[in-house]
Amino acid sequence: MKILSRAEELIMLSIWKLQKDAYCVPILQEAQIHTGKKWTLSGIYIPLGRLEKKGYVESYFGEPTPERGGKRKRFYRLTPAGFKALKEVKTIEKSMWKGLPEASLEDLL
């Protein structure tokens, strides 16, 4: 199994959540909402390219729209391999967190 970066995981979760509306701008917005951090378009496009190369997402073009000057949007969807990778990341994360003692910031200092 190839381990996902956190950015890749968040982008894939955004794609899954957005379903048929998963193109770059809503993916970016979804990531910003849930992380509370500012993302750049390159912070979305670069991991999307890696995810496509890995076979975890695939892209397709929508119809041209007048509001985009006749340009088409590139949409993304998870592949079965991508869905499996997300499930594996969730399993690993749960396993890593399991059994940790309850801690506060004072315990760590």
Rounded CA gap, 54 and 16, in Å?
A: 17
**Share above pLDDT 70 across residues of the chain, in percent, rounded to a whole number:** 95
What domain range is 40 assigned to?
Answer: 15-90
Question: Does residue 37 fall inside a structural domain?
Answer: yes
CATH number at residue 51: 1.10.10.10
Convert the pLDDT of each residue in 62-85 to its tens digit: 888 887 777 899 999 999 999 999
Report the domain count for the chain.
1
pLDDT at 88: 95
Work out the burial of residue 78: count CB atoms within 10 Å of its CB; fewer than 13 is exposed, 13-18 middle, 19 or more buried: buried
